[in-house]
Amino acid sequence: MRLEADDDDLDGALNLTPMVDVVFLLLVFFLAATTFAREEVELDLRLPAARSGQPGKPEQQIVVNVFADGRLSMGGREVTLEALRQKLAAAGERNRKTPVLVRGDHAAQFGIGLQVLDACRLAKLEKVDFAARPEQGD
| Domain residue extents for the chain | 49-134
Beta carbons within 10 angstroms of residue 79's beta carbon = 17
Residues 6+ apart with CB under 8 A from 44: 67
Residue type, position 127, single letter: K
Give the pLDDT means over successive 10-residue stretches in the chain (138 positions): 54 82 91 62 62 61 88 88 93 90 86 90 89 70
User: What pTM was computed for the model?
Assistant: 0.60
Domain 49-134 sits in CATH 3.30.420.270: yes
Q: Report CA 77 to chain centroid distance, whole Å.
A: 11
Closest CA to 81 of 89, 68, 71, 93: 71
- Phi first, then psi: what are they for 13, rounded to 5°? -90, 145
- What is the per-residue pLDDT for 83? 93
